Amino acid sequence: MGTHAGNHPGKIALVTGANKGIGLETARQLGRLGIAVVVAARDQAKAEQAVSALQDAGIDAVPLKLDVTSTADIQAAAALLESRYGRLDILINNAGINAENTWTGNNSQTVTQAQLRKTFDTNFFGVVELTQALLPLLKKSPAGRIVNLSSILGSLTLQADPGSPVAGSKALAYNASKTALNAFTIHLADALKDTSIKVNSAHPGWVKTDMGGAGASMEVADGAKTSVELALFGEDGPNGTYSHLGNVLPW
């Protein structure tokens, strides 16, 4: 706990939306591998609760109040990481919302401006702002990794194909926010291609979480695997890709 900046021997990871679901499981899987995990959540008490459970399992975890739509929270997070560790090795942009509360049908004629703006604030604008704020710390890592939690629903190729498995899921705000996030992955990966940082989009799968619902086909432990994989590969690993459990998805 009294670590001096820059002297932490192992890797440091920040996971947003890490108080439950895929985010918490991602923090757990990274922590089991000896990585120090900063557990970020909008609610300080929920972050502390998650950290307590992780620490009980012997994981090096610290809580962080971080609403990705709050510039003040983002700046405070960057300052905390700077003073505590002096760098960041892994950023998992996991926090995301579905303001439409549906996955089925086509709501492009009825989706509201409020739903669109709320969704993009968390799923896109917040991710870009946080990532930009943390890039100076990621550049201090010998092998920085950024994982953007996208969704197969953001694939324009699959959405445009009436025969694809996701063709019936056209919640515009959510899907478009993930398409935009994929564009950020491509653009940022290109901007950083001559550095040791790699940026990739992950589709976790349809997972049994509060968002995915009980009818989902995958367990939470498997839903975290893609993020963990993309956070840990070596210098010959992918950059600017979109995948699920090792399988490349079409943009």
What distance in Å separates the CA atoms of residue 143 and residue 220, rounded to the nearest whole number? 27
Q: Tell me if 166 sits within 8 A of 103, measured CB to CB.
A: no
| Backbone CA torsion sign across 158, 208, 28, 65 | positive
Q: Using an 8 Å Cβ cutoff, are 119 and 95 in contact?
A: no
CB atoms within 10 A of CB 118: 17
Set 65, 178, 198, 225: catalytic member: 178
Residue type, 133: A
Q: Which long-range contacts (CB under 8 A, 24 or more apart) does 1-4 make?
A: 3/84, 3/85
Mark whether 208 is an active-site residue. no
Token pair belonging to 192: 């950083």
Told to judge if 225 belongs to the known catalytic residues of this protein, a careful annotator would answer no
What is the CA angle 213-92-228, rounded to 5? 80
- Residue 22 tokens read as 């895929």
Catalytic residue among 11, 65, 85, 174: 174
34: tokens are 């000896």
Could you give the residue numbers annotated as active site?
174, 178
